[in-house]
Amino acid sequence: MINRFSNMKRLESALARSPVTALLGARQTGKTTLAIQYLKDNPGQYLDLESHSDQLRLSNPEMYLSSLEGLVVIDEVQRRPDLFAVIRSVVDRHPGTVTFLLLGSASPDIIKGVSESLAGRMAFVDLSGFSVEEVGEDKINLLWSRGGFPPSYTAVDDSDSFAWREDFIRTFLERDLPQLGYPLPASTMRRFWMMLASCHGQVLNLSAIGRAMGISHTTVTRYLDILEGAYVIRRLQPWYANIRKRQVKASKLYLRDSGILHALLGIRNFDDLTGNQVAGHSWEGFVVEEVIQAFNTDRIFFWRTQQNAELDILLFRHGKRFGFEIKYSEKPRPGRSARIAIEDLGLDHLWCIYPGEEVIPIDEDITLWPLRNLYSHPLLPELS
């Protein structure tokens, strides 16, 4: 079994500081496995809302939950948004006697009422698929090609991995979205998702997508909200610097799992990927997700001007600004755009993340940094 030490530490920290913790992420990212591992050392009650018997236990949720002590794990909590008000009542009336761990496959925005019901009482932990830290630096290409969903990554061969991802896409569209309250035509949403795959790593043009799909830009936004709330896409927000240049204000789109991106584009293995024109954009999205996991934050931005100066990732910490460029090249050369970003944004340092093996200082404020070394990055102790 692959050790998910960092995610376990984040979960333990959240449970220690809050009476309610939500462990959220896309289906099949390993939320249940992580919770069960935690239960081995911290015994408690486990309830699965896809189980008929556990649903019966919660037919009178206030009476049942009020009778419990210690840790209570509720899986697939998005099926019962009515439970949030009950959980609030229980933790308020019995402080210190019961702790809830809620597992869900939808964001708080989709689980209606969670923010209001449990405001000030809930900690959030987002769980993505496997990371480079978890699988090992020698497995980067396999992880990039197959993606981080555990069943996809651990499949016996590339064919089984690709088949699992195809099944995941079909199940997500035909079952998961309707269960979240969005009974949209699966064929329409598959076409929309495939169109987003072709836009991966690019600035969103809602009108262009709407014209291609034959839908309004407001419908495009609604579909994007649904997919983002189900943790399958990410919209990276732009940063507006106070400079005398016109800057891009639209968000940038990424599919969160590289394996799902490749399945939607028909890329079956690593050899197919390296020879495909999408490789650079795919690598960029893969690294973006790794940076978010390594630094345990989704408070990152990109920056671009109308004159095409660009920074892939902008991070703020302790009053300092740090930049990351992402290059799919064994010998990248940060160009004029990187220097403009350093000067215009006042960056303290810029790192160029690439698929090589050596840390190479370019000058005093630019360093080439291999993805394999990301989790030993010098900023991590400062940002943890």
Task: Give the pairing of strands 252-255 and 320-326.
Answer: unpaired
Residue range 82-122, pLDDT digits in tens? 899 999 999 999 888 999 999 999 887 767 667 677 888 89
- Please state, rounded to an integer, the average pLDDT across all residues of the chain: 93
Report pLDDT for 384. 44
Give residue 383's pLDDT band: very low, low, confident or very high (50, 70, 90).
very low
Sign of torsion over alpha carbons 296, 37, 146, 176: negative
Amino acid, single-letter form, for residue 241: A
Round the CA-based radius of gyration of the chain to a whole number and report it: 22
Residue range 260-300, pLDDT digits in tens? 999 999 999 999 999 899 999 999 999 999 999 999 998 89
The runs of H, that is alpha helices, within 214-335 are 217-229, 258-264, 270-274, 279-295
Residue range 58-75, pLDDT digits in tens? 999 999 999 999 999 999
Report pLDDT for 113. 67
Q: Are 356 and 327 in contact (CB under 8 A)?
A: no
Give the angle subtended at the CA of 227 by the CAs of 274 and 119, to the nearest 5°.
125
**Which domains occur in the chain, in start order?**
5-126 (3.40.50.300), 132-383 (no CATH)
pTM of the complete model? 0.95
